[in-house]
Amino acid sequence: MPTAAPGRTRLADIAAHAGVSTATVSRVLNGKSVVSAETRQAVLAALDVLGYERPHAPGARAAGLVGLVVPELTNPVFPAIAQAAESLLAQAGYTPLLCTQSPGGTTEDEYIESLGDHGVDGILFVSGLHADTTASRARYQHLRDRGIPVVLVGGYAPEVDAPQVSTDEPAASRLAVRHLVAQGHRRIGLALGPQRFIPSQRKRTGFVDALVDSGLASDAADASRHVVTTLYTVEGGQAAANELIESGHTALVCASDLMALGAIRAAHARGLRVPEDVSVVGYDDSPLMAFTNPPLTTVRQPVLSLCRVAVSMLLSEIRGERAPRAELLVEPELVVRGSTGAAPTPRTTTVRGEA
């Protein structure tokens, strides 16, 4: 039980944060089974937020270890996914082993070897090498051949015998384009990451289809002229935006929120206002995007839903129940904020002496 400090009722603090009674908090801390799983999780979350150590029930033992392999954490959507997946795994009694990658750091294959040495019960891969069309997918099939359950998130490798789940990225691009078309924009560009990644290819497909369907391009080749490929970074978004703005685009669809922030930076550096002169749409709805200047309109990845599906499939595989092999797609959601608005009115020049 948390240690009480003079002048403060610790149980009351925890109860208030969790929205339950102090009696319920006491039951959770004492390991009483009469508390529902949902209520127990609310109390444990309150303990975490308030900085208390969780209670350890005598003889309690985790169900097992699960590897969670995610890309570098500079893109805030990946920490959000990792946090959601870790919480869901912990609720199921598993201890997640978080493996993050960075340039020059531990590789995905090195993590796979280490997780195998730790005897993990399964591995969840988020936007790993399975999302890179130039990388071999044999590493995942080798894990399956060894009997280690695997779930792939954010990329599609049909040759791997494993459950797979992604956000519907073509739908995300279509949502963004349709929103901008409704605002009167007719010159809409796409700032995209490297084409070798499956998410990039899918976003491009959705964008091209949406331009053609909206009558803003005659065919796919025509629509592709409005796509600039760069990197999934702020700097990449800035470079792509400069090129698209230079070629007359008044609205920019960006393949990540970081790229969108770079696009806004590019517009401001040119003395342009967002959204009065240029509208910008991001992708992910990363934490804090509602607090940028202006608040970012973006297509939200349903992080919690995505993780719930992925963790559920992995737990099924661990129990020996075969999860569906057809890729499951989770629907994105357009979140309209302050970075998009009506298309700018074309400026006219008045010559002196003319009426």
**pTM assigned to the model:** 0.82
pLDDT tens sequence across 210-258: 999 999 999 999 999 999 999 999 999 999 999 999 999 999 999 999 9
pLDDT of 30 reads 75
Task: Give the C-alpha separation, 129 to 140, whole Å.
Answer: 10
Burial of 182 (0-12, 13-18, 19+ CB in 10 A): exposed
Which CATH class, in words, describes the domain spanning 10-50? mainly alpha
- For the chain, the structural domain boundaries read 10-50, 64-166+303-330, 169-301
Closest CA to 132 of 157, 163, 101, 113: 157
Q: In what order do the strands lie in the sheet with 297-300?
A: 227-229, 188-192, 251-254, 279-284, 297-300, 333-335
pLDDT of 170 reads 98
Which one of 3.40.50.2000, 3.40.50.620, 3.40.50.2300, 2.60.40.1510 gives the CATH number of domain 169-301? 3.40.50.2300
Which one of 3.90.76.10, 3.40.50.2300, 3.40.50.11540, 3.40.50.10790 gives the CATH number of domain 64-166+303-330? 3.40.50.2300
Q: What is the pLDDT tens value at each position of the chain, 355 positions in all?
A: 444 443 344 788 888 888 888 888 888 887 666 778 778 878 888 887 887 777 765 444 457 999 999 988 888 999 999 999 999 999 899 999 999 987 788 899 999 999 998 899 999 999 999 999 999 999 998 998 899 999 999 999 999 999 999 999 999 999 999 999 999 999 999 999 999 999 999 999 999 999 999 999 999 999 999 999 999 999 999 999 999 999 999 999 999 999 999 999 999 999 999 999 999 999 999 999 999 999 999 999 999 999 999 999 999 999 999 999 999 999 999 999 999 999 998 754 344 444 3
pLDDT of 37 reads 72
pLDDT of 347 reads 58
Ranges of beta strands (E only) in 101-184 are 122-126, 150-153, 164-167
Report helix angle 303-318 to 77-91, nearest 10. 40
Q: Check: CB of residue 55 under 8 Å from CB of residue 31.
A: yes
Sign of CA dihedral 332, 335, 340, 342: positive
Task: Give the C-alpha separation, 197 to 256, whole Å.
Answer: 13
**Does 64-166+303-330 match 10-50 at the fold level?**
no
Going by DSSP bridges, is the β-strand pair 297-300/333-335 parallel, antiparallel, or unpaired? antiparallel
pLDDT of 57 reads 53
CA 236 to chain centre: 18
pLDDT of 257 reads 98
pLDDT of 17 reads 87
The two three-digit tokens of residue 317, written as one number? 């595989």
pLDDT of 56 reads 61
